[in-house]
Structure 1
Amino acid sequence: MTTPPTFPPADPSGAWQQPAGYPPPTPGPVKPSRLRTGLVLGGAATAALVLVGGGVFAYTTLDGGGAQPEAALPDTTIAYVRVDLDPSATQKVNLLRLANRFPDLAKDLDVDLSETADLRELLVDAIAGSGECTVDYAADVEPWLGQRAGVASLPAAEDGAEPEPVVVLQVTDEGAARTAIESELGCGDGIEPAQVAFTDGFALITSETLAAADVATAAKKASLADDPLFSAGRKALGDAGLVSVWVDVQGAKGLLEDSLAGQGDSEETTAALAELDGVTSVTGALRAGSDHLELAFAVGADEATLTPLEGSGTSLLTGLPDTTLFASAGTVDPAAIDEAWEQLSTLADTFGSSGLGGLEDLGGLGGSGDLLDDDWSLSSNPVGTTTLPTVTEAECAALLAQPEYAADFSGLGLTAEEEAEYKRTYDEAFMSSCTGTDLGLGADDLGTEDLDTDLGTDDLYGDDYLTDDPYGDDLLPSGLGFQETVEELEKSFDIKLPEDLKTLLGEQIVVALDSAGLDDISSVTGPGDVSFGARTIGDKAALEDLLGRIDAILVDAGADKLSSATTKDGLVIASNDDYAAQLAAEGKLGTKPAFTTVVPDAKSASSAVFVDIDAIEKIARANIDALGGDDSWISYVAPLQAFGVSTRVDGGHAVSSVRLSFD
């Protein structure tokens, strides 16, 4: 009988010693074939997915105390997933009540979600149901299975070999557990005795190439639970929840680098891996309170990585109106803008475009190259006031083939024949207007009002046909490269990029959409009827100067100035004057219970997002009722209250929370 390799292997050179607090890089990806596919081995590995898919989460206060699987694993572990199925009575009730708020969830999943349900049984039944064998939970599993399980990835026993997967199961009866595990509950070919070992109430299950007893011995000497990197991540995260994960980023990075060695790494892959240089670990948890579900992460990193993520005072979200439907706020790092601008410049040069086409035409079409191709230009087609003699049918047909110009009459309640007729009329009108053969179409052509305004040539070409200017109303000449466009913007309009972009974003910015006025969508006739805008904290004088330059450009082009307002520390720009005034004032969103539940760290958050799901439901019901639509789908949204995301820097970690609250 071949003796399984020892773990960790003896190495006088010290190659497997843990450098600077990190496990060593390990070559080769993990292949599922390294473990047998029986119920027990596959169960713990898929537990998290089964629970997430079924909407079953729990708080770490569900934790009944006692030893955790990480205590049975060595500190060289690279990645680890833990599942805890031991809720206290109160938290278990809260968990199942949340699950039962979704209509027919128990029926759809065919599971028992009553308040007396055994979460272990739910999990085992779900896993067994996905296989080809039958397992009696009460007879085959309950007598020996504890409340916790884990699956981990360990360094390989030999250089060049694949990393080793290890499954950890809490057990209450070692004898019964060994019998069940080695037989794989009749669901596989069986497991060799050397692949199973017990330590401090946990069963360790390994592959054929690794002795489970060696893993237990290594864990006794130095466990994952006592590893400083692991402990720091858990401390920053707080409650570990029902399902938690941990990854040693540098160990995983080394594994990826070794597995890609000799395969001709691309520059993109190398750059992506380099982005991880300052990151040490990722710790995550799924947990649930009495009225919300949460996915939380703590990312350990060095100071250089974390500094740009630090907040600059209380998030602007808290001062928004309490009628806010959606908002996103964040701290802005000027260095990140410079980096992004450099990447945009490189991308634009690579693809031969200025990357600023949307700025080249107030008509909204961008430069002439945005319409057809880089060589086609309205500027090279002199036109009069009523005809476009050099615009060919082929060029117009190319325009009509683009989605933004194609007619869409869906949702108007037309029959198929009516819709086909309307489309035919629209296409004829478009081609006629585009080629210049008829610029005076009447309202009766489509049965709608203001056709000659909606479909006028100036909408298609940004008023190019009304001027002798070789560029028409294009803000910039066509055919400019990225840097040439930037220089032309500064020369013609005194817009300096990326400097003015950094001024506009300031130290902190929030973008918001209000729910006011959306109860009747049919009354919305333009952007001014919807309340949306942005508020910036930054250099007030510089912001006002930039606003003045932008307004001057708009006025010269015959457009209205932006709706704006100043604040003590910045500037507001909005879709209408009333909302600009609201954004400039101090609102009460930060005191709204729905907000505080899903954005708990608003005062220290460097970035945050808030969505009022109750408001979305109300707006949907109002508009569906008015239009006579089907509202059956809303029953799945009705239990939900709000959604929020927030990130803050806490010591050596960036801590993020994603929350979904319930009414």
Structure 2
Amino acid sequence: MTEPTEPTEPTEPTEPTEPTEPTHGASQPYTYPTPAGAAETVPGEVTLSDDPQPPTSGGRKRTGLLVGGVVTALVLGGAGAFAFQTLSGGGSQPADVLPGDAYAYVRLDIDPSAGQKIAAVRFLGKLPQVKDTLGADDPRKQLWQLASKDASNDCVARFSYDTDIAPWLGDRVGAAIRPGGTADAPNVAIAIQVKDESAAKDTLTKLFACDKGGSDTELRMKDGYAIVTPPGVGDATLAAAAKGTLAQNADFTADMAALGEQGILSAWFDMGTGLKEIQKFSGTTGMDATALASAKGRFATAVRFDADYVEMAGVVRGADATKSVKGDGSEVASLPANTMAAFNVSGADQMLDSAWPQLKKQIESLAAADGESDPIGMVEQQLGIKLPDDLKVLLGRSFTLAMPEQDLKSDVPVLGAKVVSSDAKRADELVGRLMESVGVGGDVLTHKVEGDKVFVATTPDYADDLKSGGKLGDSDTFKVAVGDVSNATATLFVDLDKVDAIVKGDVHGEAKSFLESLRAVGFTATNTGNGEGSFTLRVLGD
């Protein structure tokens, strides 16, 4: 294809640095370096913000955002071609060039560790919609063609992926948000990995020049990455990175180490700084503002593969340890083996102890806006209960909702709940009061007590089934979907094979094939009791 016709003479990016050789192809998966002097158990802090305020560019459609979106799509779209990439998984990461004062970061990588590539191929090969694409041409090319075809500017559509994009586009892209900026013009920096800085600079400059109104995006080159920023903050971004990169931020490195394998997608968020910045953007006031101001801790997550499933895993670190609750999800594992779906919360009574003061203020604040002065007292009087004590009794130390395998043809589906409570008789009494208050009779819900447990169900038979229990936790599907639930504060399990049996007559074509290729969904959250926690959300393939 011939060189794309340029509507205007390309404009050189503002004060670019000289190209340097990018780092690629290390034989081992990349790990973030530990900063000198960083504590192992108590991460330090990096305070580098120069608090720039990028100007608002008005309502013009941004070619820079189009380029960033296209490149992000290109990188993400390469997931189906894992098996045909080199197995290095090494080289530099976007965090190596983005500023260390960032409070939010997201990364996409189609060249992860060799283990991730192998696991991805094995898992994706189970999905009919993906199986045919594993041996196809580079899906990034297909996405480029789709994006350029729909581009409002014909200039963009004249670029060829093979000759203009492929020669320089790398395998990774990352974006970071730094303090400063506004809701309309956030202080963001995008790092696009490039194989040829000179070619990348030339092509990206031409793409930005496609905006006939003038580019509103700045471009810099740094250590094998193209750094794209809003106008007016390019120099400040590189200056901040020179003081310390995100990969040198002790909190970030410790959090990502706790997260483990970062897979094809990872993200990080500093709640202490980030929520305050969001508060500035949104202009939040009142109780919400108080909650945001007191927030602390950090969150890290990754999307990664196993041969049997794809999972989103996450960790929370540095949160308020006084709000920690030790869980126990054993009540889910003891459900009947024919369970189709279940959800459990463990330790809700303890959670209410710490959460109630803030929750009460929120309820009173909302009620005051409607002219009500004592909403809690009104509920207590109407239902004859005491809050939060009776709510703690009702939710108990374990609260489980469950639904057995069924055809869903009856007017009322079969479902039930079991509560392990400090006062089961009182909990049963509260269930009766709630049923009475909403006009539900005993012919709709059955409830009974045994020991410290209350069983509630839409049929007497299912209440008995819940009482008898079972060995759902012994099934391989359950074990793989949710893992160890012995310390779980929240557990969700859905057996998609049982769901498929119900909806198979109503789902057709690709949707039917896709559903049949999935086995289950599982979610587990745990809290270690020291202000740290973790979660996993898994989708299993058949």
- Rounded to whole Å, the distance in 2 between the matches of 1:52 and 1:637 is 23
Which of residues 409, 419, 424 is equivalent to 1:536?
419
**In the alignment, does 2:483 pair up with 1:600?**
yes
The aligned residue for residue 238 of structure 1 is: 260
Q: Which amino acid aligns with 1:134?
A: R
For residues 552 and 500 of structure 1, do their structure 2 counterparts lie closer, same or farther at Cα, with a shift above 3 Å needed?
Answer: closer
For residues 121 and 502 of structure 1, do their structure 2 counterparts lie closer, same or farther at Cα, with a shift above 3 Å needed?
Answer: same
- Rounded to whole Å, the distance in 2 between the matches of 1:326 and 1:353 is 39
- Rounded to whole Å, the distance in 1 between the matches of 2:433 and 2:205 is 79
The aligned residue for residue 499 of structure 2 is: 616
Per the TM alignment, residue 512 of structure 1 is displaced from its structure 2 partner at its CA by: 0.9
**In the alignment, does 2:456 pair up with 1:573?**
yes
Paired residue secondary structure (1:153): strand
Which of residues 140, 143, 148 is equivalent to 2:164?
140
**In the alignment, does 2:213 pair up with 1:334?**
no
Per the TM alignment, residue 575 of structure 1 is displaced from its structure 2 partner at its CA by: 3.4
For residues 2 and 90 of structure 1, do their structure 2 counterparts lie closer, same or farther at Cα, with a shift above 3 Å needed?
Answer: closer
Per the TM alignment, residue 488 of structure 1 is displaced from its structure 2 partner at its CA by: 5.3
For residues 290 and 323 of structure 1, do their structure 2 counterparts lie closer, same or farther at Cα, with a shift above 3 Å needed?
Answer: same
Counterpart mapping for 1:110-509 below 5 A: 113-115=133-135, 117-118=137-138, 120-131=140-151, 132=154, 133-155=157-179, 163-184=186-207, 187-188=210-211, 195-199=219-223, 201-212=224-235, 215-216=237-238, 218-259=240-281, 266-267=285-286, 271-272=288-289, 274-275=291-292, 277-304=294-321, 306-307=323-324, 310-331=325-346, 332=348, 333-335=351-353, 336=355, 339-340=358-359, 343-344=362-363, 347=366, 351=370, 483-484=377-378, 486-487=380-381, 489-490=383-384, 495-509=385-399
Q: Is the 8 A contact 1:78 1:154 kept in 2?
A: yes
**In the alignment, does 2:85 pair up with 1:66?**
no
Q: Is the 8 A contact 2:78 2:139 kept in 1?
A: no
For residues 195 and 328 of structure 1, do their structure 2 counterparts lie closer, same or farther at Cα, with a shift above 3 Å needed?
Answer: same
The aligned residue for residue 634 of structure 1 is: 512
| CA offset digits 1:255-302 (Å, max 9, x no partner) | 3444466xxx543xx515624622333323222333322233333342
The aligned residue for residue 645 of structure 1 is: 523
Q: Which amino acid aligns with 1:594?
A: T
Q: Which amino acid aligns with 1:113?
A: T
Count, aligned residues: 488
The aligned residue for residue 654 of structure 1 is: 533
Q: Which amino acid aligns with 1:634?
A: K
| CA offset digits 1:73-132 (Å, max 9, x no partner) | 2211232221112156775465467557666679xxxxx823354354355445434424
For residues 34 and 221 of structure 1, do their structure 2 counterparts lie closer, same or farther at Cα, with a shift above 3 Å needed?
Answer: farther
Percent of aligned positions with the same letter in both sequences? 27
- Rounded to whole Å, the distance in 2 between the matches of 1:343 and 1:193 is 42
Q: Which amino acid aligns with 1:298?
A: V
| CA offset digits 1:396-431 (Å, max 9, x no partner) | xxxxxxxxxxxxxxxxxxxxxxxxxxxxxxxxxxxx
- Rounded to whole Å, the distance in 1 between the matches of 2:519 and 2:232 is 51
Q: Is the 8 A contact 2:51 2:180 kept in 1?
A: yes
Per the TM alignment, residue 64 of structure 1 is displaced from its structure 2 partner at its CA by: 0.3
Per the TM alignment, residue 35 of structure 1 is displaced from its structure 2 partner at its CA by: 11
Q: Is the 8 A contact 1:612 1:642 kept in 2?
A: yes
| CA offset digits 1:511-537 (Å, max 9, x no partner) | 11111xx23x45x46x5xx54222222
| TM-score, scaled relative to structure 2 | 0.74
Q: Which amino acid aligns with 2:268?
A: W
Where structure 2 has 5 or more consecutive residues not aligned to the other structure, the ranges are 1-11, 18-43
Q: After the TM superposition, which of the residue ranges 41-50 and 131-140 deviates more from structure 2? A: 41-50
| TM-score, scaled relative to structure 1 | 0.62
- Rounded to whole Å, the distance in 2 between the matches of 1:549 and 1:250 is 39
Q: Is the 8 A contact 1:44 1:151 kept in 2?
A: no
- Rounded to whole Å, the distance in 2 between the matches of 1:57 and 1:597 is 26
Q: Which amino acid aligns with 2:166?
A: E
For residues 322 and 22 of structure 1, do their structure 2 counterparts lie closer, same or farther at Cα, with a shift above 3 Å needed?
Answer: farther
For residues 315 and 126 of structure 1, do their structure 2 counterparts lie closer, same or farther at Cα, with a shift above 3 Å needed?
Answer: farther
Paired residue secondary structure (2:90): coil
| CA offset digits 1:135-179 (Å, max 9, x no partner) | 32222222222221222233459x999553322122222332332
For residues 236 and 128 of structure 1, do their structure 2 counterparts lie closer, same or farther at Cα, with a shift above 3 Å needed?
Answer: farther
For residues 509 and 43 of structure 1, do their structure 2 counterparts lie closer, same or farther at Cα, with a shift above 3 Å needed?
Answer: same
Per the TM alignment, residue 252 of structure 1 is displaced from its structure 2 partner at its CA by: 2.8
| CA offset digits 1:191-237 (Å, max 9, x no partner) | 799832222x323334442345x644542431110102212321232
What RMSD over aligned residues (CA atoms) do the two structures have, in Å?
4.6
Q: Is the 8 A contact 1:28 1:161 kept in 2?
A: no
- Rounded to whole Å, the distance in 1 between the matches of 2:159 and 2:433 is 75
Paired residue secondary structure (2:417): strand
Where structure 1 has 5 or more consecutive residues not aligned to the other structure, the ranges are 7-18, 107-111, 356-480
- Rounded to whole Å, the distance in 2 between the matches of 1:636 and 1:645 is 20
Is the radius of gyration larger for structure 1 or structure 2? 1
- Rounded to whole Å, the distance in 2 between the matches of 1:192 and 1:506 is 56
Per the TM alignment, residue 615 of structure 1 is displaced from its structure 2 partner at its CA by: 0.7
Paired residue secondary structure (1:175): helix
Per the TM alignment, residue 609 of structure 1 is displaced from its structure 2 partner at its CA by: 1.2
- Rounded to whole Å, the distance in 2 between the matches of 1:62 and 1:502 is 52
Paired residue secondary structure (1:229): helix
For residues 33 and 66 of structure 1, do their structure 2 counterparts lie closer, same or farther at Cα, with a shift above 3 Å needed?
Answer: farther
